[in-house]
Amino acid sequence: MKQKLAFAMIMGVITTGIISFTLISINIGFAPNFAGIWFKSWSMAYVIVIPVILLVGPVVQNLVNNIFKEKAPLNIE
């Protein structure tokens, strides 16, 4: 569980940081108060995304495992 939590926290910092930076720079540009707006948006997104990663992550992992599940070869002799 510690690894899953660490993964969620690190992945959350990276993804929310990149996405919030990109969208705010596109929508408002690099205004004088850009850093404050970005930090507020980043922190709000981070608080939301950690539970989402922890709850949705296993479901997505199972889906991917099912999609790429290797089929047992037919044993015709």
Distance, CA of 65 to CA of 34 (rounded, Å): 41
- Work out how many domains the chain is built from and give that number: 1
The model's pTM is 0.70
| Rg of the chain taking only CA atoms, in angstroms | 19
- 74 is a domain residue: no
pLDDT tens digit string along 36-66? Answer: 999 999 999 999 999 998 899 889 989 988 8
Q: Which domain holds residue 13?
A: 1-68
**What size, in residues, is the chain?**
77
- 64 is a domain residue: yes
pLDDT tens digit string along 6-28? Answer: 888 898 999 999 999 999 999 99
